[in-house]
A = this chain, B = another copy of it.
Amino acid sequence: MSVTARSAAKREAILHAAADLFIEKGYDKVSVDAIVQEVGGSKANIYTYFGSKEGLFKAIVAHCCEELLEPLSRADIADLSPREALNAIGCRFLSVVLAPRTIALYRLVVSESPQFPKLGQLFYEAGPEVSFQRLAAYLSQQQAMGRLRSADPKQAATQFFGMLLCYSQMRLLLAVTSPFSEEYIAALVEDAVEVFLKGYAQ
């Protein structure tokens, strides 16, 4: 291994081990010593690679946002019928956003966003916002084709995702339920699509 690849690997190892800890326990409940113990090696690494606990935390959140929310930017629905498109994007969105690790990341970002406001923005733009924009673009196109009544497409998109997400996400965040199955998610989406299509029919 080259000398640069060596340090890159170490950096990665820290990033991954610390990500698991932060996502599981939260920022304040994880000490730098605990991270060192998990990843092995020495405390000095963390400070040479990330400067501070805060620097490490920010790097991790950025990394996890990309990693966890990336599937949201790969949905291609342009050529589908409204029902198919809403079903497809809805299922993908929900199964990403309700995944236990995403919920834990969201909880973490929400907790720390008053202290580190950039993180909230980062999460929002890497995840929800891309989905909203994508669906809004699709809806706008369908409106132009006369397949849906005309209305603010961005708002319609947020209504659709809200209808899907809000209740289940809230219950997961408040720890009043356990994670959901794919079948349950699919049923949620079916019902919401039904209401949305009727609500926005031409």
Listed in ascending order, the chain A residues whose CB lies under 8 Å from chain B are 25-26, 28-29, 107, 109-111, 113-115, 117, 120-121, 123-124, 128, 132, 151-152, 155-156, 158-167, 169-171, 173-176, 191-192, 194-196, 198-201
Contacts and interface: CB of A to CB of B under 8 A. Distances in A.
Contacts of A171: 124
Nearest to A174: B120
Contacts of A152: 191
Given A128-B170, A162-B167, A195-B200, 8 more contacts: A26-B111, A111-B111, A120-B173, A120-B174, A160-B163, A162-B164, A195-B196, A196-B199
Contacts of A201: 198
Nearest to A151: B191
Contacts of A109: 174
14 contacts: A107-B111, A111-B111, A113-B173, A120-B175, A120-B176, A121-B175, A123-B174, A124-B171, A152-B191, A159-B192, A159-B195, A161-B166, A162-B164, A166-B169
B174 A124 contact: yes
Contacts of A195: 156, 159, 195-196, 199-200
Contacts of A156: 195
Given A163-B159, A164-B162, A196-B195, A114 B107 contact: yes
A167 B152 CA distance: 14
Nearest to A155: B191
A62 B189 CA distance: 34
Contacts of A121: 174-176
B28 A175 contact: no
A199 to B, nearest CB: 4
Q: Which 7 A-B pairs have the closest CB atoms?
A: A162-B166, A120-B174, A195-B199, A158-B167, A199-B199, A111-B111, A166-B166
